Chain A
Amino acid sequence: GAVVSQHPSWVICKSGTSVKIECRSLDFQATTMFWYRQFPKQSLMLMATSNEGSKATYEQGVEKDKFLINHASLTLSTLTVTSAHPEDSSFYICSARSRGTGRSNEQFFGPGTRLTVL
């Protein structure tokens, strides 16, 4: 099956620093990658959609200057949380949509990255 990895799986950082999270599709090419955020006991909230080689599309209320997304290749997207603050502490999950899958709308999720900002 399609596998998506995320790195790191968890990170603790000081307030004011920047953190980069990588999302990779390991055995398929991802035309589109999605970044979600999930707070405890809440559902996944879409932050942005990124297509390879073009700028990400951000959801309403998500600051594009704070959450920088780069989708440089068909297998890698990165999310950088700039000047992180404690309220940015959350579970960040990426997903990737494959080319040519039978269920063309299906997304494959990464294992998530737990970010804690002190």
Chain B
Amino acid sequence: GQNIDQPTEMTATEGAIVQINCTYQTSGFNGLFWYQQHAGEAPTFLSYNVLDGLEEKGRFSSFLSRSKGYSYLLLKELQMKDSASYLCAVWHDYKLSFGAGTTVTVRA
């Protein structure tokens, strides 16, 4: 089976930085996605990494190390609206496998 692991919950203060780690072991690898999902809504795309290194996009950055099977999503200057679930997903064998998601709670 496919294993994609990420922490269940994280809490941080408004304005702070939070890093969500994701490790994966999949039968193949053709890219890693990060999605944001608010309760009762569909996931929205945040980032995509297919090569090693850091991809920066405004307040969000994502890093990938294929040799280590590791990625992280970095959320900077946290805002209350960033409270959501963050899903790590690996594209392999023509499909996406998702981690269980990390619920981030931003406190005032």
Contacts and interface: CB of A to CB of B under 8 A. Distances in A.
- By CB atoms of chain B within 10 A, which of A42, A109, A111 has the most? A109
Interface string B65-108: 00000000000000000000001000100111111110000000
A46 B96 contact: yes
Contact of B44 (A34, A105, A109): A109
A2 B16 CA distance: 32
Contacts of A45: 98
Contacts, number: 45
Given A44-B98, A46-B97, A49-B95, A105 B30 contact: yes
A32 B100 CA distance: 24
B15 interface: no
| Chain A interface mostly | strand
Contact of A43 (B33, B91, B99): B99
Interface in A49-100: 49, 91, 93, 95
Nearest to A113: B42
Contacts of B91: 105
Interface in B6-61: 30-31, 33, 35, 40-45, 48, 50
Interface residues of B, number: 22
Interface in A98-118: 103, 105-112, 114
Given A43-B100, A106-B45, 19 more contacts: A34-B95, A42-B100, A43-B87, A44-B87, A44-B98, A45-B98, A46-B95, A49-B94, A49-B95, A93-B42, A103-B31, A103-B48, A105-B30, A105-B50, A109-B43, A110-B42, A111-B42, A112-B41, A112-B42
Interface of B: 30-31, 33, 35, 40-45, 48, 50, 87, 91, 94-101
Interface of A: 32, 34, 42-46, 49, 91, 93, 95, 103, 105-112, 114
Task: Rank and list the top 6 A-B pairs by shortest CB-CB distance, nearest first.
Answer: A109-B42, A43-B98, A105-B91, A43-B100, A44-B98, A112-B42
